[in-house]
């Protein structure tokens, strides 16, 4: 199977993508974009997850000459009109811990029944000089009142998936990988990845 460049520097995502693929397609071999000296950071200036994922995948395929898999994801909170959405990583401009504090602050006084949210993910697979394939995944849940749990990354200590009473950070990788937005998007892009072989 061809090597695939993983076009992300977010270590939480790298860990999850590799873990998910170990189950979906154990033969897949990933290399990091960091191994290509010419590669630089792609600015996520798009207004949609599709735009950013496509841009990252196309850039990585171009600079490496290999098929490239990228993803863009975010958390869309109902009571905040869908914010922070595509801007989730830059919500507070001060990193994951500050993002979670800001979200709790913005949701103060919002009752349990109105704290609905969705994690969304768009995966993009770009073939050098060729097409870009896209796939979407979503996971609904709600935002808790305090941070709980040590697993995962980003908003996981706040996100309680539908049907559960604990956060993704408490539930751990097995539960998260079974239902996450990332798992759903990667599963849908699997046929395009298999065609690379």
Which residue of 14, 31, 36, 44 would you call a contact of ligand IMP, by CB under 6 A?
Answer: 44
Q: Does 167 bind ligand IMP (CB under 6 A)?
A: no
Catalytic: 72? yes
Segment interacting with ligand IMP, rule: CB under 6 A, options 22-30, 69-77, 104-112, 183-191: 69-77
Site string for ligand IMP, 74-103 (x = CB under 6 A): xx------------xx---------x----
Query: Which residues touch 2 (CB under 8 Å, ≥6 apart)?
Result: 29, 66, 67, 196, 197
- Say what angle helices 181-194 and 11-24 make with each other, to 10 degrees: 60
Segment interacting with ligand IMP, rule: CB under 6 A, options 17-25, 29-37, 68-76, 126-134: 68-76
Site residues for ligand IMP per CB under 6 A = 10, 44, 72-75, 88-89, 99, 119, 152-156, 180, 182
């Amino acid at each position: 199977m061809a090597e695939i460049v993983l076009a992300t520097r977010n270590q939480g995502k790298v860990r999850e993508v590799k873990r998910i693929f170990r189950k979906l397609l154990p033969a897949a071999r990933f290399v990091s974009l960091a191994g290509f000296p010419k590669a630089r950071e792609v600015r996520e200036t798009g207004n949609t997850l599709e735009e950013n994922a496509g841009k990252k995948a196309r850039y990585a395929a171009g600079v490496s000459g290999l098929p490239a898999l990228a993803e863009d994801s975010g958390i869309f909170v109902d009571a905040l009109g869908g914010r922070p959405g595509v801007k989730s990583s830059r919500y507070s401009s001060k990193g994951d811990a500050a993002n979670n504090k800001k979200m709790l602050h913005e949701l103060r006084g919002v009752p349990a029944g109105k704290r609905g949210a969705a994690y969304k993910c768009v995966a993009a697979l770009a073939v050098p000089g060729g097409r870009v394939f896209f796939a979407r995944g979503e996971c609904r849940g709600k935002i808790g009142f305090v941070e709980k749990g040590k697993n995962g990354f980003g908003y996981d200590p706040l996100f309680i998936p539908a049907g559960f009473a604990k956060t993704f950070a408490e539930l751990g990788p097995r539960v998260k990988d079974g239902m996450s937005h990332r798992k759903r998007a990667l599963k849908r892009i699997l046929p395009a990845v298999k065609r690379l072989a």
